[in-house]
Chains A and B, each alone.
Chain A
Amino acid sequence: MSSTEFKVDRRDIQFVVNEVFEAEKLCEFPNFSDFDMDTFHLIIEEAAHFAEKVIVPLNAVGDSEGCVLKEGQVVTPKGFKEAWQQMGENGWIGLNVPPEFGGQGVPELVSTAATDALVSSNQAFLIIRFLTSGAVNLIKTFGSQEQKATYCEKMATGKWAGTMCLTEPNAGTAVGDIITTATKEGDHYLIKGTKMFISSGDHDFTDNIIHMVLARLPDAPPGPKGISLFIVPKIRHDGTPNDVTVVNLEHKMGIHGSPTCLLSFGDNKQCHGELLQAENQGMSQMFQMMNESRLQIGLQGLAASAAAYEFALSYANERVQGIAIQHGKDQNAARSLIVEHPDVKRMLMSIKATTEGLRGLMYACGYFTDMCTHGPEDTREHYQNLLDLSIPIAKAFGTDEGFQAACLGIQVLGGVGYTRDFPLEQNARDAKIGSIYEGANGVQALDLVGRKFNMKNGALLQSLQQELKYFEQITIPKEIQGMLDEWNSYQDLLFESIQNLRELTKSGGPQGYVLYATNMLALMGDVLCAFYLLKQALVAQNKFEALEAEAASRESLLEESTDARFYWNKVRTAEHYILVLLPRALSNARIIKNGSFASLQAKLELTI
């Protein structure tokens, strides 16, 4: 592979899905009885194949060409439309949508893995897929029979696409403050208002675009309780255009292939919308769909890290610079590949550990989703708790760490990493949005410490505590014991820090409690990623030992067997996470313990 051609890391994806989470066990549930291990394997393989063949080639052109607004219509970069259609025809849009709604009903675990392959190939291109599957989910869950029949299959197969219209100029994070109105008129509602930053708000992929619009009825109660959700098609059922106008297209730092639109609904008082289910249910409907959409954005963070690792590792094996330190000052020594330099190795390993830790966390969310919907009745609540607790972490920690890893990837390349000749600067620019949309990361942290910690009297945290006991019932190979002991001390630190955070309420009130929510989330993110990597390392170590038992020597095994090297590296990766990255959790714990209110007390002002 050259350093500008992206290849999906099939081996690691298959490992996590099939060897660690043992996806095959999901086939015991009636909904998944049509699947088997070979099918899961082939799904991931073919998703990767599709990604590399169809979407990877569009990544650079999407960035350089971008989207343009021509005569009120958005024109997308060359090849995007065809790729979307092909993605729909081949089933990659609605892969987790149940068959009765036009999808294939693939388990979330496997669907998450396939999406991982797709999004790391082209972040901008996948955004419309996220929104379309979000819209399908809303309609299939809350829609009338007629709405389901009209929209779901068309969207799941990519004939139509969807949007999520929440944000307005004066209502971003505070969605409850939206002012778009909906007034009942006969059998429909008239929608009027402006929606801002609407991803795929207009494009040339499909004949119709189905906007899911949050709006307020005239007599609705104020705030979030007074919001309703409407289906607003760009083209009405009778084929006439609905009154939706693209006012502007944003010029952005990244994801140029994804058109971000300012939309005006009802300029001519002719914008028809259909109510979804019932009035004033909009926010709670959105909330029920949030887990999936937040996980997908978390995957975008993972994608950025995965891409950074591949490009950086590949370049580090091509670029010759300097003399490896073990050759001392011998100017006649051969020049080395930069991968030989310890600092470069450290950076590469950090990106690898981030990628694989995040992969563990994201896929766990997919697995929890399957278990809480299809698993044994008596464990469903447990998995629902784990899912609800993990989602804000997957979203915020995933996108923050993914972006950091993307930046570190640039660092590995040096000067060329900063240029447009290599895909890493685009990777970082594209990744940045992840921490902002779908609920800014600061707000995810609030969700974690404010809602999730306190939901059901702390039951979510109890489920986590139980889950983290995983290693207690298992024989631990010698090589893993040391890092497990180390990780265990962080587990204690995590629950101690939660107590310390609660203490801050006493001294600082609600303001004090949320002040270090982000540190709390990061601490938890690190402890969880380390946990999932440890699980992976455990599987890998056992498999490595089995191979070693058959081999002449460890050296020859590592020399000759790709599998052995994969397992060996996995254990090293877990160790790197636990001993090199995880210590930053100490810093977060200390910050929470210090509980400084300096930032609350300071009178910040510009002094110019």
Chain B
Amino acid sequence: MNIIVLIKQVVDVELNIRVKDGALVEDGLNYVISSWDEIAIETALQIVESVGDGEVTLVTIGPDQAAEALRKGLAMGAHKAIHVSDAGFDGSDSFAYAKAFAKILGDRDCDLIIAGKQAQDTDAGLTAGMLAEFMDLPQATNVTKLGQIAADKLTLHRGGDNGSEVIELSLPAVLTVNDSLYEARLASLRGIMQAKKKPLETLDLAGSGVDAATVGIAGRQTVIDQLVEPEARQAGQKFEGDEEETTKQVLDLLVNEAKIFA
């Protein structure tokens, strides 16, 4: 089973993110693999490991430094990686990325395309869905559990609005994964050493075959109106001391102030 995993390098949201004059302050930011994409890598590795054959290929569109994310994914165990890097992609939105991925992946032979259910920076969760549409592939989003894996189909659970659905999906297909599916493995030292020797293909816009007019600012369908920092949240209230006493206090506040039973 050959699997392609779409990964995105995003700003580490654990750090203090600042916005100045309507733009993200780049200084001091740290970049990591979007956490759902790490789960996507884990899912792909688990499938390939359980089937016992096949390869996991990572694909990202991003600046030079996104190669770090690919190397880390390779260190986790993926077999090869494709880095599409070109200033022409700057300013792309989900739609443009989906178009680009459809072109880049179009000729590649694979049974499954997996991505995180959304990216940690924009939280849009659109790219993979649109990609499936552009490639005319079946898709399952927000996958929470995998069932049987066969050469031509996959059984899985996905989280829907009204509970969990069990789906049989014919392959090839596109999946997006939820973080309840697996815990992403940490890179091992051996993995790090091997990562260096694994193939990492770098493509620019021309090399990727993507039409320049469909990506970047020209290709985007959405407009960012403004970028602002969220308001600081008020600190929560802490209740300390005797358990019975504090339980009463909390209950009192819930009933009389928050009026949750009203």
Binding site for B on A (CB under 8 A): 34-36, 38-39, 42-43, 46, 49-50, 53-54, 86, 89-92, 95, 104, 106, 560-562
CB-defined contacts of A53 to chain B, threshold 8 Å: 186
**Complex interface: chain A residues within 8 A of B190 (CB):** 91, 104
Contact A42 B192, beta carbon cutoff 8 Å? yes
Q: How far is the CB of B39 from chain A (nearest CB, A)?
A: 15
Select B189's contact among A54, A86, A104, beta carbons within 8 Å. A104
CB-defined contacts of A106 to chain B, threshold 8 Å: 189
Q: Are A90 and B195 in contact (CB under 8 A)?
A: no
The answer for the CA separation of A17 and B53 in the assembled complex, in Å, is 39
Of chain B, the residue at the smallest CB distance from A105 is B193
B13 within 8 Å of A (CB atoms): no
CA–CA, A561 and B72, complex, Å: 26
Residues of A within 8 A of B28 (CB): 562
The 4 nearest A-B residue pairs measured at CB: A91-B189, A562-B28, A90-B188, A46-B187
A46-B27 contact in complex given A36-B196, A39-B192, A39-B193, C-beta closer than 8 Å: no
Most buried by B among A42, A49, A89, A92: A42
The answer to whether B72 and A91 have CB atoms under 8 Å apart is no
Once the chains bind, are B72 and A42 in contact (CB under 8 Å)?
Answer: yes
Q: Which residues of B contact A39 (CB under 8 A)?
A: 192-193, 195-196
Q: Which residues of A contact B196 (CB under 8 A)?
A: 34, 36, 38-39
Which of A50, A560, A562 makes the CB contact (< 8 A) with B186? Answer: A50
Asked if B71 is an interface residue, CB under 8 A from chain A, the answer is yes
| Chain B residue contacts of A91, Cβ below 8 A | 188-190
**B27 contacts A89, CB within 8 Å?**
no
B186 with A49: CB separation less than 8 A: yes
Contact status A561-B27, CB under 8 Å? yes
Complex interface: chain A residues within 8 A of B81 (CB): none
On chain A, the residues within 8 Å of B72 by CB distance are: 42, 46
Known: A34-B196, A36-B196, A562-B27. A42 touches B187 (CB 8 A): yes
Q: Which residues of B contact A92 (CB under 8 A)?
A: 189
Q: How far apart sit A43 and B193, CA to CA, in the bound complex (Å)? A: 9
Asked, given contacts A36-B196, A560-B27, A562-B28, whether A42 binds B75 with beta carbons under 8 Å apart, the answer is yes
Q: Please give, as numbers and ranges, the residues of chain B lying within 8 Å of A86 by CB-CB distance.
A: 186
Judging by beta carbons under 8 Å apart, are A95 and B189 in contact? yes
Interchain nearest-CB distance for B240 vs A (Å): 11
B191 CB to nearest A CB, Å:
8
Determine if B186 and A42 form an interchain contact, defined as CB atoms under 8 angstroms apart.
Answer: no
Is the Cβ of B71 less than 8 Å from the Cβ of A90?
A: no
User: Which residues on A sit within 8 Å (CB–CB) of B188?
Assistant: 89-91
Closest to A7 in B: B14
A445 vs B190: C-alpha distance when bound (angstroms): 39
In the bound assembly, the distance between CA atoms of A38 and B71 in angstroms comes to 9
Given contacts A560-B27, A561-B27, A562-B28, contact A43 B186 (CB under 8 A): no
Nearest opposing residue in chain A for B67, CB measure: A38
Q: Which residue of A lies closest to B188 (CB)?
A: A90
Chain A residue numbers with a CB within 8 Å of B71 are 38, 42
* Assembled-state Cα–Cα distance A560/B26 (Å): 9
Chain A residues contacting B27 (CB-CB under 8 Å) are 560-562
The residues of A that contact B68 with a CB separation of less than 8 Å are 42
Separation of A461 and B71 alpha carbons in the complex (Å): 44
Q: Which residues of B contact A43 (CB under 8 A)?
A: 189, 192
Count chain B CB atoms within 10 A of each CB in A34, A39, A50 and give the residue with the most. A39
Bound-complex Cα distance A53 to B188 (A): 13
- Besides A34-B196, A42-B195, 16 other CB < 8 A contacts? A34-B193, A38-B71, A39-B193, A39-B195, A42-B71, A46-B186, A46-B187, A49-B186, A49-B187, A53-B186, A86-B186, A90-B186, A90-B187, A90-B189, A91-B189, A104-B190
Centre residue among B188, B192, B196 by max chain A CB count within 10 A: B192
Are A46 and B193 neighbours in the complex by a CB distance under 8 Å? no
Q: How far is the CB of B16 from chain A (nearest CB, A)?
A: 10
Please name all residues of chain A whose beta carbon is closer than 8 Å to the beta carbon of B193 when the two chains form the complex.
Answer: 34-35, 39, 104
Bound-state Cα–Cα, A423 to B190, Å: 33
Instruction: Report A-chain residues with C-beta under 8 Å of the C-beta of B195.
Output: 39, 42
**Cα A36 to Cα B195 with chains together (Å):** 12
- Give Cα distance in the complex from A303 to B193, angstroms: 26
Contact with A along B129-166 (1 / 0, CB 8 A): 00000000000000000000000000000000000000
Alpha-carbon distance between A510 and B10 when the two chains are bound, in angstroms: 64
Give Cα A91 to B186, complex, Å: 11
Q: List 5 A-B contacts (CB under 8 A).
A: A36-B196, A39-B195, A39-B196, A91-B190, A106-B189
CB distance from B183 to the nearest CB of A (A): 10
B37 CB to nearest chain A CB (Å): 16
Decide: A54 near B192, CB < 8 A? Known: A42-B72, A560-B27, A561-B27: no
Residue of chain B at shortest CB distance from A562: B28
Q: What are the residues of chain B within 8 A of A562 when measuring CB–CB?
A: 27-28
A54 CB contacts on chain B under 8 angstroms: 186
Within 8 A of A (CB), among B177-232: 186-190, 192-193, 195-196
- In angstroms, Cα B192 to Cα A92, docked, is 12
State how many angstroms separate the Cβ of A168 from the closest Cβ of chain B. 37
Q: Determine the chain B residues whose CB is within 8 A of the CB of A104 once the complex forms.
A: 189-190, 193
**Chain B residue nearest in CB terms to A50:** B186
A106 to B192 Cα, complex, angstroms: 11
Could you tell me the distance in whole angstroms from the C-beta of B228 to the nearest C-beta in chain A? 20
Report how far A280 CA is from B194 CA in the complex, Å. 43
Q: Which A-chain residue is minimally distant from B29 (CB atoms)?
A: A562
Q: How far is the CA of A560 from the CA of B195 in the complex (A)?
A: 35
In the complex, what distance in Å separates the CA atom of A92 from the CA atom of B188? 8
Chain B, Cβ-Cβ closest to A566: B28
- Tell me the minimal C-beta distance from B118 to chain A in angstroms: 22
Which residues of B lie under 8 Å from residue A561 when comparing CB positions? 27
CA distance in complex: A42, B72 (Å)? 8
- Nearest opposing residue in chain B for A54, CB measure: B186
CB distance from B136 to the nearest CB of A (A): 38
Residues of B within 8 A of A90 (CB): 186-189
A114 shortest CB reach to chain B, Å:
9
- A371 shortest CB reach to chain B, Å: 22
